[in-house]
Structure 1
Amino acid sequence: MNSVDVTNDLQTLLSGKNVQFNLSVPHLVEKVLDRKEGILTSSGAVRATTGTYTGRSPKDKFIVEEKSTKEKIDWGAVNQPISEEAFDRLYTKVVSYLKEREELFVFEGFAGADEKYRLPITVVNEFAWHNLFARQLFIRPDGRSRQAAEEPFTILSAPNFKADPLIDGTKSETFIIVSFEKRTILIGGTEYAGEMKKSIFSIMNYLLPERNILPMHCSANIGEEGGTALFFGLSGTGKTTLSADPNRRLIGDDEHGWSSTGIFNIEGGCYAKCIHLSEEKEPQIYRAIRFGSVLENVVVDDATGEPDYDDAFYTENTRAAYPIDAIDNIALPSIAGHPQTIVFLTADAFGVLPPISKLTKEQAMYHFLSGYTSKLAGTERGITSPEATFSTCFGSPFLPLPAHVYAEMLGKKIDEHGVSVFLVNTGWTGGGYGIGERMSLAYTRAMVRAAIEGDLDNTEMRTDRIFGLHTPIHVPGVPDQVLDPAKTWADEKEYEEKAIRLANEFKKNFKKFSNTGDLEKTGGPLI
């Protein structure tokens, strides 16, 4: 079987009479409503639902095994290989399917706010609301013709096209397939818009290290005096919430690159979880949801158009997508200098990790590789309650390269720029999930503020005898008892048993890593 001619096929597809390029936000909203893909809420945002798939489908994600990538990709359960022949067959089917649609919507933009490192992208959508999502989440051209030194990566998104696993080599009707050589991403069988966003992040996680840039699953903000802070963490751990600080300018809420000159946002928008969203707790996010924004799987009152952010009828993983300039206090362009502070966010379902700890470089690399947190309900199919998990570099589903590549880059940059690193537990206190309670957001904000402002640089610390973490004795605005997790439990013996259990889980998980030297001894638990 001859390889498909992606360039020629794409040109033919995009020259069709059914294709509409770079529609404005009002025009796309009009299309969404005319096509009955969604409804308009009281704030002017579009609300769409995604049917069966209300989160990512990691088991349906593949990378094409090609000559140029075969020896580079960290193949396994995360980066599943698929043959070039299977990709070509499915590509041909998807292109034929899209040609037959009454309308197609195309967005041409970028990933990467720093012009020196940006990647041109073309997003082809079956749904108008998906194209609106892409326009709000990626970086929009500034009105000039798009000129770039490299060929764009193209997303072909066909939610209503379903694969046949027996014929197409997939595991289900759903597929997310990346071909690096053909610079193409195929998405089908799922209406969940986040697959587009995360596919581009995976691409950047492969390309940027080749240019000595560390790609990071983190949010970032900057203070009035120029101090930059990064927030790492999986979905639901607080990246978006904690970085949207009214006293600091937001650089970006989810994906960044760290180059030789500093930080840059990979995206042009935000994709915030909005379950239990309120104006009181998260005013910047709440107010950003207005005309042009996209609400995903949020319950809306039929009579008033009011969203009910507390209702998880469709999923716990309700989402809001909006352009970054919908936040009042942002850094434009989305670029800043080297960070002074890094915060690793973990939602500890065991409830045994301290609410904040200062890490050595070795501990930072260890916890970066470990990426301990809990999968929260709704962020993936089948997750209905928090589950303890380890996600390498706080983003294992999006890392095509071996983990040590990213950890070594992080360690080097911490050394080069004298960065302070903290581990912050936004999970449970006073007991594990079902017994204790979620850490107070007000306390977490106070701890993060103290870390960023340097209040913890010279404060008195205690060393946790199980995890070896250095925890402050006092933090302004936080009761001292909260800082010592053992003291928040009714039974300290039970606490110790659960803490040792978690420490052993860390050790068990870390055995999968190679090329890490003595990092387990110098950065891991003491027991």
Structure 2
Amino acid sequence: MANFVGSVEWVRSCVNKVHYNLAVPNLVEAALMRKEGTITSTGAFQVTTGKFTGRSPKDKFVVKESLVDHHIAWGKVNQPISPAQFEKIYDKVLNYMHDRELYVFDGYAGADGNYRLPIRIINEYAWHNLFVHQLFIRPTQEELVSHLPEFTVITVPGLKADPIEDGTNSETFVVVSFERKLILIGGTEYAGEMKKSIFTVLNFLLPFKNVFPMHCSANVGDKGDVALFFGLSGTGKTTLSADNNRQLIGDDEHGWSDQGVFNFEGGCYAKCIDLSVDKEPQIWNAIQFGAVLENVVLDPITHLADYNNKSLTENTRAAYPVSNIPNAVIPGVAGHPQVVIFLTADAFGVLPPISKLTKEQAMYHFLSGYTSKLAGTERGVIEPEATFSACFGAPFLPLQPTFYARMLGEKIEEHEVKVYLVNTGWTGGPFGVGKRMNLSYTRAMVTAALNGTIEQANFSADPIFGLQIPDFVKDVPSEVLYPRNTWQDKEVYEEAARELSGRFIRNFEQFTDVNEDILNAGPQIPFV
């Protein structure tokens, strides 16, 4: 029955009104009439998402079906739910939609026509439909005529689950059925659940087509040289990939096929807390009519966005078409990467600002997915908290992380890719003692990695982490390149470095199916 949701027969069975593939002005008009949000001074559509201002990972489930059971990495990320429980929730969703006005978007995930996934998204809210219209790839009128969705997403924020009856953990549910090719989302207004649900689907489907799915941004230079930027929130992935001297392929999700790299999406979903025209002019100027602003506070009189206001959440977001970026690649398809950059914001202040990785080190740090965040507020707590997210996107991986790491290793070897680890975090000491890495230095190091001039330097191995550190990068003071030299107390540095290395080692114990070469590519100092 799921394949018929949104079909002509299904619509005739409903007493509600269904709007198919409305244009942006129509969706904005509908959302305004329904009082779902308001217009900002730049013409963007501003909304608030209630108590959910981010994803709800504890409420995400995968249906335990025979087709996928032996492939899925079951656990905290991929929580199982039975087919019978799924059917109960599905029936509730259908009954709930029956007398409601709905909005339908037909489009694609995947800019490469050889691998794109036709999708249909059915929304209770007009602004949710505006969001997916801007985020995914919009078909031409000719493509719409023959469009047949392979996966359908239904979002009904007003429908709440009953944990006892439905087998969920709360009133919120995000349930993926690979056999039914259907995703059900309810009890949350946060639009990012739709985006990441499709990403989860692609992370399952594409590896079986020999396409490596990646949580990364990508850009390309004038000579066709492609670079990938992996990193968790706050590491500078969006900032560093938005380069006026290079073209943006995409800001978040990509596939790497035998032909090259392609964007999964047709839009960007940028974090915009503390956004300014000076620091992020491309994002600032992209927030035009039709863009969606989530949980950004507006001035009640002027409707100017206050990007510094964190009263609703720090996870304020802007969704807009990638075509709003002047130097974007349309469609988002390019060749094979020559350079891969892993970004980390190390609040311990012990990782070098840039280092070169071997293939095995790249696989180790890809599996580790390290960055750090601060426990509590900056004013009250200065103790950094190490955070590890496998493949820089653990919440979206249906398969075992080592499966994706092997794909990365194969791509690196096949295309002779250079891999660098860039620390955008602290130098001269941990958070509260040292200072954040100078952005101009980081940009200079990234530029040197991209144009290859960094390879002219002499490299030496860090004694604890084994990372290869260059002795020279243009426009970067040489003392900055060696973190130990930036600390006043060298013994305190050694202690902090050993503590972080121990955290790496303990986290990596979960990966029991990697070979010795990868295991030995990480830090070897035991935790003390």
Shorter-chain TM-score range: over 0.9
Distance apart, 1:148 and its partner CA = 7.0
Bigger shift: 468-477 or 218-227? 468-477
Equivalent position amino acid for 1:233 in 2:
G
| 1:51 counterpart residue number | 50
Equivalent position amino acid for 2:339 in 1:
T
Cα 1:77/1:495, change in 2 over 3 Å? same
Matched, 1:262 2:265: no
Cα 1:161/1:413, change in 2 over 3 Å? same
TM-score, length-scaled by structure 1: 0.95
| 1:232 counterpart residue number | 230
Query: In the aligned structure 2, how far is the partner of 1:513 from the partner of 1:150?
Result: 39
Cα 1:299/1:14, change in 2 over 3 Å? same
Of residues 341, 347, 367, the one that matches 1:343 is 341
| 1:33 counterpart residue number | 32
Equivalent position amino acid for 1:457 in 2:
E
| 1:432 counterpart residue number | 430
Matched, 1:478 2:499: no
| 2:218 counterpart residue number | 220
Query: In the aligned structure 2, how far is the partner of 1:440 from the partner of 1:95?
Result: 53
Distance apart, 1:493 and its partner CA = 1.5
Distance apart, 1:295 and its partner CA = 0.7
Cα 1:311/1:180, change in 2 over 3 Å? same
Of residues 403, 415, 418, the one that matches 1:417 is 415
Q: Deviation per CA, 1:367-425, whole angstroms, max 9, x where unpaired?
A: 011111135799xxxxx997421110001100101111111111011011010000111
Distance apart, 1:485 and its partner CA = 1.6
Distance apart, 1:151 and its partner CA = 4.5
Cα 1:115/1:157, change in 2 over 3 Å? same
Query: In the aligned structure 1, how far is the partner of 2:436 from the partner of 2:102?
Result: 44
Cα 1:377/1:242, change in 2 over 3 Å? farther
Secondary structure, aligned partner of 1:279: coil
Of residues 325, 328, 350, the one that matches 1:327 is 325
Equivalent position amino acid for 1:118 in 2:
R
Distance apart, 1:428 and its partner CA = 2.1
Distance apart, 1:176 and its partner CA = 0.7
Q: Would you say the 8 A contact 2:386–2:503 is kept in 1? A: no
Q: Deviation per CA, 1:148-192, whole angstroms, max 9, x where unpaired?
A: 797521110011111111111010111111000000111111111
Q: Deviation per CA, 1:29-56, whole angstroms, max 9, x where unpaired?
A: 1112111111111111111111101111
Cα 1:428/1:99, change in 2 over 3 Å? farther
Distance apart, 1:125 and its partner CA = 0.7
Q: Would you say the 8 A contact 2:348–2:384 is kept in 1? A: no
Distance apart, 1:520 and its partner CA = 4.2
| 1:165 counterpart residue number | 163
Query: In the aligned structure 2, how far is the partner of 1:35 from the partner of 1:88?
Result: 31
Q: CA RMSD in A?
A: 1.9
Secondary structure, aligned partner of 1:182: coil
**Aligned ranges for residues 171-320 of structure 1 at < 5 Å?**
171-320=169-318
Query: In the aligned structure 2, how far is the partner of 1:106 from the partner of 1:376?
Result: 41
Distance apart, 1:442 and its partner CA = 1.9
Q: Would you say the 8 A contact 1:56–1:194 is kept in 2? A: yes
Q: Deviation per CA, 1:429-483, whole angstroms, max 9, x where unpaired?
A: 2222333332222221111111001011231122110100011122112222222
Query: In the aligned structure 2, how far is the partner of 1:187 from the partner of 1:385?
Result: 37
Matched, 1:402 2:411: no
Q: Would you say the 8 A contact 1:13–1:95 is kept in 2? A: no
Q: Would you say the 8 A contact 1:251–1:335 is kept in 2? A: yes
Equivalent position amino acid for 1:64 in 2:
V
Cα 1:386/1:154, change in 2 over 3 Å? farther
| 1:381 counterpart residue number | none
Secondary structure, aligned partner of 2:456: coil
| 2:96 counterpart residue number | 97
Query: In the aligned structure 1, how far is the partner of 2:429 from the partner of 2:113?
Result: 47
Secondary structure, aligned partner of 2:232: coil
**Where does structure 1 lack aligned partners over 5 or more consecutive residues?**
379-383
Query: In the aligned structure 1, how far is the partner of 2:165 from the partner of 2:348?
Result: 43
| 1:153 counterpart residue number | 151
Q: Would you say the 8 A contact 2:383–2:431 is kept in 1? A: no
Query: In the aligned structure 1, how far is the partner of 2:241 from the partner of 2:10?
Result: 40
Q: Would you say the 8 A contact 1:108–1:121 is kept in 2? A: yes
| 1:462 counterpart residue number | 460
Q: Would you say the 8 A contact 1:463–1:469 is kept in 2? A: yes
Cα 1:98/1:439, change in 2 over 3 Å? farther
| 1:374 counterpart residue number | 372
| 2:2 counterpart residue number | 6
Matched, 1:83 2:82: yes
Bigger shift: 304-313 or 425-434? 425-434
Q: Would you say the 8 A contact 1:236–1:376 is kept in 2? A: no
TM-score, length-scaled by structure 2: 0.95
Q: Deviation per CA, 1:230-261, whole angstroms, max 9, x where unpaired?
A: 00112222221111111100000000000001
Q: Would you say the 8 A contact 1:317–1:377 is kept in 2? A: no
Cα 1:237/1:376, change in 2 over 3 Å? farther
Distance apart, 1:496 and its partner CA = 1.3
Equivalent position amino acid for 1:46 in 2:
F
Equivalent position amino acid for 1:34 in 2:
M
Secondary structure, aligned partner of 1:70: coil
Q: Would you say the 8 A contact 1:404–1:514 is kept in 2? A: no
Bigger shift: 345-354 or 263-272? 345-354
